[in-house]
């Protein structure tokens, strides 16, 4: 009997997966160097910690016995959840750790949503909520930002009986705007407990404004609230892929059912637990980011370039030329920024705050690119 | 042979799938001639009639000697009358969004009134055709409407390939609509930003394109009876962070490509496309799409063959008889075979005019020959 030589992917693959457009991450530095021929690369595209991992995490990583790599890690990040519970005065069962916060987004959506349900979020925010919903066959209601900020009345208006989860990024990536405590609580009160609210606080540790809400402290008041945090940003462990969520025990009991145990490797768990206690590193990172923002923002304003600089370790600039051209021209000069067309911000770029040398290099390259454009 | 019929509101497409190692598609060429005195050429009569009866065709050789032929016959539509060209006042904030059939009719009427023929593709002469093309999903359209439903502007776009989108416009129907142009442009970019599209190009850009949206990819000639011959810019922008490509080239084309990629900061590695002695078909086929309104033709290589150079000369001569003034030839640089056409075209009067990133399987270089300057 003849064996057919082509797969019928039309019938094998669900339509919502066929329709989904996969995200293509940046190529490794060496490959980019071959294409763009830069000498040195300053990575200002992923909002990584300009100081790197905390010294305590580095020490813990160095102390990790390579031979123990043959053993499975703690399947549910036992000690890290103990550490998180102690820090936030909650029960360890109220935490679920994932292979980066991206994994916990998937866990939450899969735990609560089924065919016909929808999620609601902003149109210009962290893209992964929309991605996971799309390739899971769910509808995403995208609400336009108002003045760079989440639009609470419109978010409420778009919710319907099929809405399971509202995703809020606070402070928002990429605009850096945030809802203060009273605005967030008014929104949570208005949503009611028929829907879940996810509060993604990936950049919360960078915010020092007194009215910024600590989502984890609100878990006692709002049983439908789920808070995401990550070790990729201020803790400087992006390469280890580790993040977590906190929620009421009854919610984590459900979410845990969609969590793949052992997805967080042993080294990441060790590094994260050590980083969690390094308050000095967090403080130093905040100071460096603030100092460099204080250097960068006026320099950009002086050039007459519109800038959106609020909370977080990044700023956005509206360029007089197309952002993807700026990306290529900056990369030729060894500066990697994020072009924002893909975030639905055409002609904007996002720049991560780096150390002073990187900010100087960025400004010098930007001057050249702007001169070229004239 | 398998035959597939795809009826659409504005056209019908016929697909033929067959084993064709011995298939000689020569009479598909627009320059092909049949002589009653030549029995061999009469064998191609059926194909010749078929090729002349349709508006366009593609031939794709498949694995194991299989051939795929697609023929497209378009419906004819009445031309839409221009709307009265009068000064307009738009009331309230303009809303950019999808279009109703009535607003599409207004848009096409306004287009005829406010823009010369050279500013838009021929299919925009008919609201009926546009409505049908939109319903078939071939194009998308965004309109800017005021609070009384008056159409202040519009922009439309379609996918040239999985990775390239082409837009026409923005078209504006009144003064002081710069913000509207920006909103229309942003609407298109935001609609396609999360699709497979990597590049947005425009051969039909208007002077109202917001500054800084695009780079100029190059200039091509365009002809209309009313305006004569003019050079028009072709614009383009990436939508994503381009990660580079390999492209095939020949020594004749290499300098031009190097200059263009350098000017546009597009990272490409150029690979030499050499003749490697592989067996070729006897006859080549060149697909021709003629735009009567602009007296231009767009040629692409459908099938390579030993007679390629003489075939190109025949095509040019034949197009001249059809009254064509400007011929464009697209070469997809993802194919070494197609890149190898460059020197043949260049020694026969074609000049490279621009590179369209990702417009085919890879980048497309567009070569041009002007017949009546």
A219 with A340, same domain?
Answer: no
Distance from CA of A213 to the nearest CA of B (A): 31
A342 with A253, same domain?
Answer: no
* Chain B nearest-CA residue for A332: B265
A204 with A88, same domain?
Answer: yes
Kindly determine whether residue A27 and residue B186, on different chains, have CB atoms separated by under 8 Å: no
A206 with A86, same domain?
Answer: yes
A202 with A299, same domain?
Answer: no
* CA B199 to mean position of chain CA atoms: 15
Boundaries of domain holding A354: 10-52+280-373
Answer whether residue B282 shows pLDDT above 90.
Answer: no
Whether A185 is in a domain gets the answer yes
Give the end of a domain, one of A254, A277, A300: A277
Over residues B180-206, the pLDDT tens digits come to 999 999 999 999 998 999 999 999 989
Question: Which residue in the set B211, B214, B265 is minimally distant from A328, CB to CB?
Answer: B265
Whether A2 is in a domain gets the answer no
A180 with A249, same domain?
Answer: yes
Give the end of a domain, one of A249, A277, A305: A277
A126 with A246, same domain?
Answer: yes
Are B316 and B348 in contact, with CB atoms under 8 Å apart?
A: yes
Give chain A's domain count: 2
The domain spanning residue A178 has which CATH number? 3.40.640.10
A245 with A299, same domain?
Answer: no
Whether A4 is in a domain gets the answer no
B81: number of Cβ within 10 Å:
11
ipTM over 0.95: no
B93/A126 Cα distance (integer angstroms)? 29
Answer whether residue B258 shows pLDDT above 90.
Answer: yes
Q: Determine contact: A127 vs chain B, CB below 8 A.
A: yes
B4/B17 Cα distance (integer angstroms)? 8
Peptide bond between residue B373 and the one before it cis (omega within 30 degrees of 0): no
Kindly determine whether residue B193 and residue A344, on different chains, have CB atoms separated by under 8 Å: yes
Distance from CA of A328 to the nearest CA of B (A): 6
The domain spanning residue A368 has which CATH number? 3.90.1150.10
pLDDT number for residue A5: 61
Give the end of a domain, one of A246, A277, A308: A277
Count residue pairs from A and B with Cβ separation < 8 A: 74
Chain B contacts to A (CB-CB under 8 A): 185-186, 189-190, 193-196, 211-215, 237-244, 264-267, 269
Distance from CA of A221 to the nearest CA of B (A): 37
10-residue averages of pLDDT along chain A (374 residues): 69 92 88 91 97 96 96 97 98 98 97 97 96 96 96 97 98 98 98 96 97 98 98 97 98 96 96 97 97 98 97 97 96 96 95 98 97 85
Whether A1 is in a domain gets the answer no
Partners of B196 on chain A (C-beta within 8 Å) are: 21
B157/B134 Cα distance (integer angstroms)? 10
Over residues B295-320, the pLDDT tens digits come to 999 999 988 888 999 999 998 998 99
Phi, psi of B176 (to 5 degrees): 55, 50
Peptide bond between residue B204 and the one before it cis (omega within 30 degrees of 0): no
Among the listed residues A160, A146, A210, A155, the one whose alpha carbon sits nearest the alpha carbon of residue A188? A155
Whether A5 is in a domain gets the answer no
Whether A187 is in a domain gets the answer yes
Whether A336 is in a domain gets the answer yes
Kindly determine whether residue A327 and residue B241, on different chains, have CB atoms separated by under 8 Å: yes
pLDDT number for residue A1: 47
Partners of B194 on chain A (C-beta within 8 Å) are: 21, 127, 130, 342, 344
Distance from CA of B165 to the nearest CA of A (A): 15
Whether A326 is in a domain gets the answer yes
A163 with A269, same domain?
Answer: yes
A253 with A116, same domain?
Answer: yes
> Which A-chain residues 2-21 have CB contacts (< 8 A) with chain B?
21
A171 with A99, same domain?
Answer: yes
A89 with A231, same domain?
Answer: yes
Q: Determine contact: A318 vs chain B, CB below 8 A.
A: no
Domains of chain B: 1-75 (no CATH), 95-238 (3.40.630.30), 242-373 (3.40.630.30)
């Amino acid at each position: 009997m003849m064996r057919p030589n082509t797969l019928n992917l039309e019938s094998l693959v669900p339509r919502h997966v066929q329709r989904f457009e996969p995200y293509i991450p940046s190529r490794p530095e060496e490959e980019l160097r071959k294409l763009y021929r830069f000498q040195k690369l300053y990575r200002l595209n992923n909002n990584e910690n300009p100081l790197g991992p905390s010294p305590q995490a580095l020490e813990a990583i160095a102390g990790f016995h390579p031979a123990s790599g043959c053993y499975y890690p703690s399947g549910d990040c036992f000690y890290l959840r103990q550490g998180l519970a102690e820090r936030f005065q909650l029960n360890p069962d109220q935490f679920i750790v994932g292979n980066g916060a991206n994994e916990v987004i998937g866990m939450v959506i899969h735990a609560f949503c089924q065919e016909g349900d929808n999620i609601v979020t902003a149109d210009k925010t962290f893209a992964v909520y929309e991605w996971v919903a799309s390739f899971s066959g769910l509808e995403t209601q995208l609400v336009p930002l108002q003045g760079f900020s989440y639009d609470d009345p419109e978010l409420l208006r778009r919710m319907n009986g099929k809405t399971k989860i509202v995703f809020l990024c606070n402070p928002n990536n990429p605009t850096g705007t945030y809802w203060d405590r009273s605005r967030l609580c008014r929104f949570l009160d208005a949503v009611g407990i028929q829907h879940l609210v996810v509060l993604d606080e990936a950049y919360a540790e960078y915010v020092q404004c007194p009215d910024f809400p600590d989502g984890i402290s609100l878990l006692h008041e709002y049983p439908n609230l789920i808070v995401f945090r990550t070790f990729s940003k201020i803790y400087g462990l992006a390469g280890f892929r580790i993040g977590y969520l906190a929620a009421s025990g009854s919610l984590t009991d459900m979410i845990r059912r969609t969590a793949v145990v052992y997805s967080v490797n042993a080294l990441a768990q060790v590094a994260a637990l050590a980083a969690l206690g390094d308050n000095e590193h967090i403080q130093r990172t905040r100071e460096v980011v603030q100092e460099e923002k204080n250097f960068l923002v006026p320099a950009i304003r002086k050039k007459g370039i519109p800038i959106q600089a609020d909370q977080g370790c990044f700023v956005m600039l509206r360029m007089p030329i197309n952002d993807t051209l700026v990306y290529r021209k900056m990369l030729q000069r060894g500066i990697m920024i994020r072009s924002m067309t893909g975030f639905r911000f055409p002609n904007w770029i996002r720049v991560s705050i780096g150390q002073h040398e990187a900010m100087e290099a960025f400004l010098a390259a930007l001057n050249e690119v702007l001169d070229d454009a004239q | 042979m398998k035959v597939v019929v795809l009826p659409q509101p504005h056209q019908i497409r016929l697909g033929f799938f067959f084993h064709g190692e011995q298939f000689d598609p020569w009479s598909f060429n627009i320059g092909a001639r049949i002589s009653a005195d030549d029995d061999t050429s009469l064998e191609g009569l059926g194909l010749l009639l078929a090729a002349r009866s349709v508006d366009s065709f593609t031939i794709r050789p498949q694995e194991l000697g299989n051939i795929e032929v697609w023929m497209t016959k378009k419906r004819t539509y009445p031309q839409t009358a221009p709307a009265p060209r009068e000064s307009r006042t738009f009331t309230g904030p303009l809303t950019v969004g999808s279009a109703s059939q009535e607003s599409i009719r207004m848009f096409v009427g306004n287009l005829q009134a406010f823009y010369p023929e050279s500013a838009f593709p021929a299919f925009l002469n008919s609201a009926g055709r546009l409505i049908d093309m939109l319903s078939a999903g071939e194009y998308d359209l965004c309109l800017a409407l005021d609070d009384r439903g008056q159409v202040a502007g519009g922009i439309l776009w379609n996918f040239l390939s999985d990775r390239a989108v082409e837009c026409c416009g923005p078209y504006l129907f009144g003064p002081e609509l710069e913000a509207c142009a920006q909103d229309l442009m942003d609407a298109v970019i935001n609609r396609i930003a999360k699709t497979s599209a990597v590049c947005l190009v425009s051969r039909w850009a208007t002077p109202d394109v917001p500054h800084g949206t695009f780079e100029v990819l190059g200039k091509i000639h365009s002809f209309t009876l009313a305006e004569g011959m003019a050079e028009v810019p072709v614009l383009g922008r990436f939508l994503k962070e381009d990660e580079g490509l390999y492209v095939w080239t020949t020594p004749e084309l290499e300098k031009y490509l190097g200059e263009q990629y350098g000017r546009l900061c597009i990272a490409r590695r150029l690979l030499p496309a050499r003749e490697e002695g592989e067996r070729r078909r006897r006859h080549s086929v060149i697909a021709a799409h003629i735009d009567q309104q602009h007296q231009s033709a767009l040629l692409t290589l459908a099938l390579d063959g030993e007679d390629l150079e003489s075939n190109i000369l025949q095509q040019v001569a034949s197009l001249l008889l059809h009254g064509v003034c400007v011929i464009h030839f697209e070469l997809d640089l993802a194919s070494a075979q197609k890149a190898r056409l460059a020197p043949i075209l260049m020694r026969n009067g074609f000049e490279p005019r621009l590179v369209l990133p990702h417009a085919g399987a890879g980048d497309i270089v567009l070569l041009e020959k002007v017949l009546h300057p």
